[in-house]
Amino acid sequence: MFVNEASRVHRDVMDGRVRLPQIGAVLAGDNPSLPWVVVDGARQEIVPVSGYLLDRMLGDVSPLTCRSYAYDLLRWYRVLWAVDVGWERATESETAALVGWLRSARNPQRERKRGAYRPGTVNAITGKPALRSGYAPASIAHNLSVLHGFYAFHLHYGRGPVVNPVPANPARRAALAHRSPVEERVRYRRGRMRPKIPARQPRAIPDDQWNALFQQMRCTRDRALLACYISSACRASELLGVQLGDIE
């Protein structure tokens, strides 16, 4: 009876029929070594999460990366709270519930305004496709990577479940290992529960939009600067950091 009940709850979460408990939060930390902390419903710091985030900060990740990891782990804990499973007893069943929920739930950051582009259409000005209301495959893959690292970190110290609840993909790790650039890229299959991430299509600005952009320039100097920026093919960060000493 307990197994059937647990399976029903997992399935309800997976199919999006259960709203995750909106408890816990990501708060700014008091120390530079841990700029973000995850707290539970009682506003108590979740120690296993803080230990992992601190390890990531010692690995020289940025505070924004730490914040992103914190939100992924908060979402994971909300799934665990919904199915009433402790983090140290998590299995692939809870990972499947998370992936299913991410596939079916609406992303609150994707609330569309009236008159916005419909999902699947392309913005005529920017060339960007309008995303669907749910979570993107890249977001799901990122959440799984964070969870795998979280449990791998605690497993190193003998904490948590004996088996990582997020399935690993040795073929992917071998393919991403350092190899000569002249070698042919190794193809590998996606790991279990990993979404298929579509390849990014290159975007270009049509000629008429280039003409409209140059017409907005108020003087010849601005047109020359814009033409220089475009022809140099520099990254945005490189252009923003240009100083007079960098110009020949």
Q: Show me where the domains of the chain are located.
A: 2-109+127-175, 207-246
- Specify whether the CB–CB gap between 145 and 137 falls below 8 A: no
Task: Report the share of the chain in percent with pLDDT over 90.
Answer: 42
SS (H, E, C) the chain: CHHHHHHHHHHHHHCCCCCCCCCCEEEEEEECCEEEEEECCCCCECHHHHHHHHHHHHCCCCHHHHHHHHHHHHHHHHHHHHHCCCHHHCCHHHHHHHHHHHHHCCCHHHCCCCCCCCCCCECCCCCCECCCCCCCHHHHHHHHHHHHHHHHHHHHCCCCCCCCCCCCCHHHHHHHCCCCCCCCCCCCCCCCCCCCCCCCCCCCCCHHHHHHHHHCCCCHHHHHHHHHHHHHCCCHHHHHCCCHHHCC
Q: What is the pLDDT of residue 231?
A: 84
Per-residue buried b or exposed e for 125-144, using 16+ beta carbons within 10 Å of the residue's own CB: eeeeeeeeebbbeebbbebb
Which residue type, as a one-letter code, is found at position 58? L
**What's the confidence (pLDDT) of residue 118?**
66
pLDDT at 2: 44
Looking at the chain, the whole-number percentage of residues with pLDDT higher than 70 is 84
The per-residue pLDDT for 50 is 97
d(CA 124, CA 108): 25
The CA-atom distances, in angstroms, between 244 and each of 14, 236, 239 are 56, 17, 12
- pLDDT of 112 reads 60
In degrees, rounded to 5, the angle at the alpha carbon of residue 80 between the alpha carbons of residues 149 and 192 is 50
* pTM of the entire predicted model: 0.74
Q: Does 203 have pLDDT greater than 90? A: no
Q: What is the pLDDT of residues 180-200, one digit of tens each?
A: 767 777 776 777 888 887 777
CB 48 within 8 A of CB 90: no
Q: In the predicted model, what is the mean pLDDT of residues 127-148?
A: 84
Report pLDDT digits (tens) over 63-94.
Answer: 999 999 999 999 999 999 999 999 999 999 99
**Is the pLDDT at 120 greater than 70, yes or no?**
no
Instruction: Please give the pLDDT value at position 119.
Output: 64
Residue of 44 and 5 predicted with greater confidence:
44
